[in-house]
């Protein structure tokens, strides 16, 4: 779920962009370091971001009768970690605005913050917690993808509530309003995205372990541990 | 939509004038965001649509279709802004004039800003935008990463279409259960294809003395000083008109 072009007042658009910049700077630094260390991964990382973009254009059935699409952030974070995913998420959102007219340029900061930063950090935290608690790998991936999706939806609702407080009830009433409207589609969607991520990850570990190993990514390490 | 916008961006009359288009869009976007939205929106909308349809000769149908879809979401969003919720011995939902005013302002601002973004998307090829970003000294790692991603997207999208087409021919999307399974299989196949293709490309480039920079030929920019002056004048005129109207009406 993205906030559409021009929907946020100018001060909010600038504020969310400013909040995104340090995370993006960290991601770019990490990306530069990764490319200096492993220049051969340049094309693989580009292809992986292209994959997240195309993944986000795959339609999945939604409870409201319409179709929706996965964000791919939870899945991507379990593959690449949060730092690079900040940059990947930003690039995916930028291309969605320029090539699909989805989201927007003035709301790019707010959308990157909710989807790539909050979503990415939640996915990474849950995935690491799952590994620490020795949860089954599939359960960790499911929870990471689902909670990342839910965190994105909660952050977007709070961003909207902050921009448009309710005339009577203020920020709290507005947050409840946006959260309950989006909950209709986003909660089932988050569960579906979690299940889909597990399904795809299992297929990849079974049939593309070599490609996962080429990226030296967390999922590949778990794959090697479980399938020696 | 993905390929349609990109093809039009590469074939419209202004495809080599990205610098001037960027200046025009930046000015129009500032007008849409910073001026009183109800007064500025009609001017910005007219300028963006005229520039796209008359100036750059973007096909009306494609531009209108890209505009109408997000406007559907905007209508739903505006309806939400019009109502107020309160807990007063039970849930109370009421229409408020303040909410309606905010909804009108937001809708006007969003419609104007959307037109400007579409004008930029339909008239400026991404390769030209990346060249401009390089000139503005954006981080090299980011620009290169964006370039590689941009080149990969279309190949992957083609693969996605062929995989999904094959699955549909085998009734892979006949119900929700099959749709879920087919989508998962398509995503996994896409990942494997993306990486196999990237590895082949890497090997090919290495054998041609690849030094980690992808040098590509870009069409030369045709932006003139006159284009830039014109691009700066339009938003300035709109801003002046809106300020005069706001103070006198």
Q: List domains and CATH numbers for chain A.
A: 10-226 (1.10.1760.20)
**Are the Cβ atoms of A50 and B194 closer than 8 angstroms?**
yes
Q: Would you place residue B225 in the very low, low, confident or very high pLDDT band (cuts 50, 70, 90)?
A: very high
Let me know: does A164 contact A116? Beta carbons within 8 Å: no
Q: Do B179 and A61 touch (CB under 8 A)?
A: yes
Clarify whether residues B28 and B143 are in a common domain: no
- A61–B180 CB contact, under 8 Å: yes
CB atoms within 10 A of CB A108: 22
User: Strands, E, within chain B: which ranges?
Assistant: 83-87, 91-95
Query: Number of CB pairs < 8 Å for A and B?
Result: 225
Rounded average pLDDT over B156-160: 87
Query: Does the CB of B110 have a partner CB in chain A at under 8 Å?
Result: yes
Distance CA B184, CA B165 (A): 15
Same domain, B13 and B104: yes
> Residue B212: its pLDDT value, please?
65
The alpha helices in A81-208, defined as continuous H runs, are 82-100, 108-111, 119-132, 137-163, 170-207
Give me the pLDDT at residue A214, please: 64
- For residues B81 and A4, the answer to whether their CB atoms sit within 8 Å is no
Of the residues B191, B201, B208, the best mutation for testing chain A's interface (the one with the most A CB atoms within 10 Å of its CB) is B191
Q: Does B212 map to a domain?
A: no
Based on the fold, state whether residues B229 and B193 are members of the same structural domain.
no
Decide if B177 is inside a domain: yes
In Å, how far is A227's CA from the nearest CA of chain B? 19
pLDDT of the residue at B38: 93
Task: For residue A13, list chain B residues with Cβ-Cβ distance below 8 A.
Answer: 33
B120 and B136 in a common domain: no
Q: Does ipTM come in above 0.85?
A: yes
Contact status, residue A138 vs residue A170, Cβ threshold 8 Å = no
B182 and B67 share one domain: no
In a domain, B97, yes or no: yes
pLDDT of residue A227: 40
Q: Which of B42-46, B189-193, B213-217 has the highest mean pLDDT?
A: B42-46
* Chain B residues near residue A99 by CB distance under 8 angstroms: 1-2, 5-6, 121, 126, 153
- If we measure between CA atoms, which residue out of A82, A105, A49, A102 comes closest to residue B120? A105
CB–CB contact A211 B196 (8 Å): yes
Strands B91-95 and A60-61: unpaired
How crowded is residue A100: how many other Cβ atoms within 10 Å of its Cβ? 18
In the predicted model, what is the mean pLDDT of chain A? 82
pLDDT at residue A203 in the model: 81
* pLDDT exceeds 50 at position A226: no
Model pLDDT, residue B214? 67
Instruction: State percent of chain A over pLDDT 90.
Output: 36
Which residues in chain A have Cβ-Cβ distances shorter than 8 Å to B186?
58
Q: Do B24 and B144 reside in the same domain of the chain?
A: no
Contact check, Cβ <8 Å, A46/B73: no
Q: Which residues of B touch A161 (CB under 8 A)?
A: none
- Cα–Cα distance, B174 to B104 (Å, whole number): 42
CB contact under 8 A, B109 and A6: yes
pLDDT tens, position by position, A175-215: 888 888 777 778 888 888 888 888 888 887 887 777 677 66
Mutation target among A3, A7, A217 for the B interface, most CBs of B within 10 A: A7
Residue B139 lies in a domain: yes
pLDDT band, very low/low/confident/very high, at A27 (cuts 50, 70, 90): very high
Q: Is B98 on the interface with A (CB under 8 A)?
A: yes
Looking at chain A, how many residues does it have?
228
Is the pLDDT confidence value at B27 over 80?
A: yes
Locate the chain B residue with the closest alpha carbon to A175: B85
pLDDT value of position A121: 94
Cβ pair B117:A105 closer than 8 A: yes
Shortest Cα distance, chain A CAs vs residue B97, angstroms: 9
Q: How far is B173 from chain A (nearest CA, A)?
A: 10
| pLDDT exceeds 70 at position A66 | no
Number of independent structural domains in chain B: 2
Q: Which domain holds residue B181?
A: 132-206
């Amino acid at each position: 779920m993205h906030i559409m072009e021009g929907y946020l007042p100018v001060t909010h658009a600038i504020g969310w962009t400013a909040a995104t910049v340090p995370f993006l700077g960290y991601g770019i630094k990490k990306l530069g370091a990764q490319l200096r260390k492993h220049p051969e991964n340049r094309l693989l990382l580009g292809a992986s971001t292209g994959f997240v973009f195309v993944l986000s254009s795959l339609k999945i059935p939604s409870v409201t009768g319409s179709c929706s699409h996965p964000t791919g952030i939870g899945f991507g974070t379990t593959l690449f970690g949060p730092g690079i995913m900040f940059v990947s998420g930003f690039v995916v959102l930028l291309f969605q605005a320029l090539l699909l007219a989805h989201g927007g340029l003035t709301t790019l900061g707010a959308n990157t913050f909710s989807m790539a930063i909050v979503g990415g950090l939640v996915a990474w935290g849950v995935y690491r917690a799952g590994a620490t608690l020795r949860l089954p790998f599939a359960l960790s991936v499911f929870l990471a993808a689902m909670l990342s999706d839910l965190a994105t939806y909660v952050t977007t609702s709070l961003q909207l509530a902050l921009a448009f407080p309710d005339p009577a009830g203020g920020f709290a009433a507005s947050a409840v309003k946006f959260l309950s409207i989006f909950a209709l589609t986003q909660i089932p969607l988050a569960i579906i995205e979690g299940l889909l991520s597990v399904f795809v990850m299992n297929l990849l570990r079974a049939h593309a372990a070599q490609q996962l190993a080429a990226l030296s990514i967390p999922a590949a390490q778990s794959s090697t541990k479980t399938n020696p | 939509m993905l390929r349609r916008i990109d093809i039009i961006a590469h074939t419209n009359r202004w495809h080599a004038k990205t610098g001037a288009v960027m200046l025009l869009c930046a000015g129009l976007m500032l007008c849409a965001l910073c001026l009183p939205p109800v007064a500025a929106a009609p001017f910005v909308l007219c300028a963006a649509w005229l520039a796209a349809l008359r100036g750059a000769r973007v096909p009306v149908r494609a531009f209108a279709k890209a505009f109408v879809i997000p406007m559907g979401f905007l209508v739903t969003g505006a309806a939400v802004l019009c109502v107020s919720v309160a807990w007063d011995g039970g849930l109370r939902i009421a229409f408020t004039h303040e909410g309606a005013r905010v909804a009108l302002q937001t809708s006007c601002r969003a419609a104007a800003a959307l037109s400007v973004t579409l004008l930029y998307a339909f008239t400026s090829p991404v390769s030209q935008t990346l060249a401009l970003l390089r000139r503005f000294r954006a981080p090299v790692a980011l620009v290169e990463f964006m370039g590689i991603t941009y080149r990969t997207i279309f190949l992957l999208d083609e693969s996605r279409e062929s995989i999904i087409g094959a699955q549909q021919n085998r009734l892979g999307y006949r119900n929700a259960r099959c749709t879920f399974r087919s989508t998962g299989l398509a995503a996994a196949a896409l990942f494997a294809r993306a990486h196999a293709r990237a590895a082949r490309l890497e090997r090919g480039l290495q054998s041609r003395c690849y030094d980690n920079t992808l040098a590509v030929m870009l069409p030369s920019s045709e932006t003139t000083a006159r284009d830039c002056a014109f691009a700066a004048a339009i938003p300035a005129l709109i801003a002046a008109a809106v300020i005069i109207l706001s103070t006198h009406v």
